[in-house]
């Protein structure tokens, strides 16, 4: 009989939510609004859709393993060198490659409790040990992370803004942190939500730095609306990127994803519309949640972390909202047991969400 390594036996497979169509049939609902996955409520970039339509006849061909056109488009857009860029199947894929390429079995990866679940999964799937320090006011405590470094620490993961809390650390704090980190420790700076935070005057744009021990990951899933195509990119020193090319799957990302991403990078108007809608939607959502009496965390992303009385209440709250056609995310698996994450939607979706949330919250509080 084959032997399954203990670290694989201890893993839990990802459980996606039911498809919206199935939920509508099962619960006999006329409408379902999904505000659980931080997706763009405007849909994909129109330029990305056009690019997909133009290249659909090329689906019989293997894609360029180096993503040459996309890599150069990213390099031009963000003023970085092409040999400092690599593309993959979204942030999850890139995190797995980075952990696999730059850690050994005896190494430890250091991060915070209550951050992106993808890093926990990537580390554990590789059979590595993950060390977590508590958040401070739902924000990365960079001083505590420094204090937790040991001789086994090979990598540190940071998310800015953080998912699922939406909080961000500022430029001065980040730069002071980087001065204290030993240069042999790899820093992953996950900037999946940078579009929603980069207007802040103190936001530390990772691509503006040139640290030899840091790699920045970004995604097209959120602001650009390409979650269904699974595409992201990483920027880092040439030696780091060269190593990542050695471990990544050769024909990743696929041709449709590459073509759509190239076009989306050129769609500045769509990005402005996305950011504008996010600001309006979140402002309305914050105001409505405050009126209902729900505790919430200040956000720099496209979602709000709400805090329920306890974990049991949070689970029941999400279940009851689902019964009324509203899909939210209980973030207990992220490490915040009483947290429920709600992303921005269209103004109509936000109004619908507040109506459901108000009814459900008051009902559960009355029990």
Q: What is the DSSP string of 321-356?
A: HHHTTEE-EE-GGGT-TTEEEEE---HHHHHHHHHH
Task: Give SS3 for 306.
Answer: strand
Cβ-count burial of 297 within 10 angstroms (0-12 exposed, 13-18 middle, 19+ buried)? buried
**Amino acid 28: pLDDT:** 82
Distance CA 229, CA 207 (A): 24
**Amino acid 17: pLDDT:** 63
- 256 contacts 59 by C-beta, under 8 angstroms: yes
Q: Token digits for 210?
A: 């040139």
- Kindly report the average pLDDT of the chain as a whole number: 95
**Amino acid 22: pLDDT:** 77
N-term to C-term CA, the chain: 52
Per-residue pLDDT of the chain (367 residues; tens, 9 = 90+): 888 888 888 877 776 666 778 778 887 888 999 999 999 999 999 999 999 999 999 999 999 999 999 999 999 999 999 999 999 999 999 999 999 999 999 999 999 999 999 999 999 999 999 999 999 999 999 999 999 999 999 999 999 999 999 999 999 999 999 999 999 999 999 999 999 999 999 999 999 999 999 999 999 999 999 999 999 999 999 999 999 999 999 999 999 999 999 999 999 999 999 999 999 999 999 999 999 999 999 999 999 999 999 999 999 999 999 999 999 999 999 999 999 999 999 999 999 999 999 999 999 998 7
- Domains of the chain are 6-43+269-366 (3.90.1150.10), 46-267 (3.40.640.10)
Q: Token digits for 41?
A: 């409520």
**Amino acid 16: pLDDT:** 67
- 238 contacts 71 by C-beta, under 8 angstroms: no
Name the DSSP letter for residue 106. Answer: T
**Amino acid 18: pLDDT:** 64
Give tens-digit pLDDT for 144-172.
Answer: 999 999 999 999 999 999 999 999 999 99
**Amino acid 7: pLDDT:** 80
Distance CA 100, CA 114 (A): 22
78 closest CA partner among 190, 211, 174, 218 = 218
Q: Token digits for 14?
A: 């990802």
Q: How many residues does the chain have?
A: 367
């Amino acid at each position: 009989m084959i032997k399954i390594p203990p670290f694989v036996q201890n893993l839990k497979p990802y459980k996606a939510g039911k498809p919206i169509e199935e939920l509508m049939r099962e619960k006999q609902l006329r409408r379902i609004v999904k505000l659980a996955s931080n997706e763009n409520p405007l849909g994909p970039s129109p330029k990305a859709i056009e690019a997909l339509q133009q290249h659909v006849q090329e689906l019989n061909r293997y894609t360029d393993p180096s993503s040459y056109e996309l890599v150069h488009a990213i390099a031009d857009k963000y003023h970085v060198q092409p040999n400092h860029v690599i593309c993959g199947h979204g942030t999850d894929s890139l995190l797995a490659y980075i952990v696999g390429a730059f850690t050994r079995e005896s190494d430890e990866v250091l991060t915070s409790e209550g951050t992106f679940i993808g890093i926990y999964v990537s580390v554990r799937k590789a059979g590595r040990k993950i060390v977590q320090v508590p958040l401070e006011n739902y924000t990365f405590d960079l001083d505590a992370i420094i204090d937790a470094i040991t001789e086994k620490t090979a990598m540190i993961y940071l998310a800015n803004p953080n998912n699922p809390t939406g909080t961000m650390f500022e430029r001065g704090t980040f730069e002071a942190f980087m001065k204290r980190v030993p240069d042999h420790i790899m820093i992953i700076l996950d900037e999946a939500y940078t579009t929603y935070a980069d207007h802040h005057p103190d936001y530390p744009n990772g691509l503006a730095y040139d640290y030899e021990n840091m790699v920045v990951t970004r995604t097209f899933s959120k602001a650009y609306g390409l979650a269904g195509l699974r595409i992201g990119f990483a920027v880092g020193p040439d030696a780091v990127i060269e190593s990542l090319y050695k471990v990544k799957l050769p024909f990743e990302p696929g041709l449709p994803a590459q073509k759509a991403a190239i076009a989306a990078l050129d769609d500045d108007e769509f990005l402005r519309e996305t950011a504008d809608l996010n600001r309006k939607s979140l402002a309305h959502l914050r105001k409505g949640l405050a009126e209902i009496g729900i505790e919430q965390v200040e956000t720099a992303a496209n979602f709000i972390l709400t805090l329920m009385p306890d974990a049991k209440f949070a689970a029941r709250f999400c279940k009851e909202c689902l019964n009324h056609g509203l899909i939210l995310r209980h973030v207990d698996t992220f490490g915040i047991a009483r947290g429920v994450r709600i992303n921005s939607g269209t103004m109509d979706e936000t109004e619908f969400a507040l109506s459901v949330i108000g009814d459900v919250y008051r009902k559960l509080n009355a029990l």
